Structures are given as structure tokens and as C-alpha cells.
Amino acid sequence: MIADLENSVWQAYKNNQTRSLRKLLYKTYYGVYADGIKTMDMEVAAMAKTDLQKYSLADFNVEFPNANIAIITYKATQQATSGQQDVSGTYNCESVWAKKGENWVNVFHAEIKAR
């Protein structure tokens, strides 16, 4: 379930679906990347400048520290540009999901380019 939600975030990003992405991210979401820390609004703005041509996600590991928190780690391989910069490659990723009411939302995401 959490892996499916994580894939939904990537799919919304790939298809430039602002409304779908905002539904999946919590209002106080933070993303940590090599180029800085992004809020939800900054993430949506970055999506508009990104062309995610294709991606694959693998090696999922999901842990539940409690019934309302999920931590997922995985590898993402992408072919993409952001602005004029090629950001293709393989990344080690982590997301934290929180259950708010009946829905799970992404509260934190980090990516580090694999060597």
C-alpha cells in the first residue's frame, strides 16, 4: 500500500498533475535534495519545470514505527531534465508517510544520487 502511494507521487510528478500531487503531500511536507529543501509549494513549482520521461522504482523496504507512521526506502532510476539540467540517474530515496484520518499523506521525502 505505501509503495503504491509512493509510486502515485512519482506518476503525478511525471504527468504534471498538480492537484493529484497536492492530495498526496501533507500541508507541511518537506523534500530534501542536493539543490535544497523544498516545501509543498516549491515541490509543485519544481514539477512544472521538470520533464520526467520515465522512471522505475525498486528494492522497497517499508517499516511502521507505529500504526500511523510508515517509512519507506527504495531505489529510483529516472530519465529526466529539470530546467535545462539532466538529472537522470539512480537515486536512493526515503519517504515518511503519516496517516491523517483515513488517508496516508507524504510528510517528508529525500533523494541522494547513487554512486
H-only helix segments in 15-103: 18-24, 40-48
Each residue's pLDDT, cut to its tens digit, for the chain (115 residues) gives 999 999 999 999 999 999 999 999 999 999 999 989 999 999 999 999 999 999 999 999 999 999 999 999 999 999 999 988 999 999 999 999 999 999 999 999 999 999 9
2-113 is classed CATH 2.40.30.10: no
Alpha helices for 1-115 (secondary structure H): 2-14, 18-24, 40-48
Residue pair 82/50 in contact by the 8 Å Cβ criterion: yes
Identity of the residue numbered 93: C
SS3 state at 16: coil
pLDDT at 11: 98
End-to-end Cα, the chain, rounded Å? 29
Residue ranges per domain, the chain? Answer: 2-113
Report the pLDDT value the prediction gives residue 55, as an integer from 0 to 100: 98
Neighbour-count burial of 21, counting CB atoms closer than 10 A to its CB (0-12 exposed, 13-18 middle, 19+ buried): buried
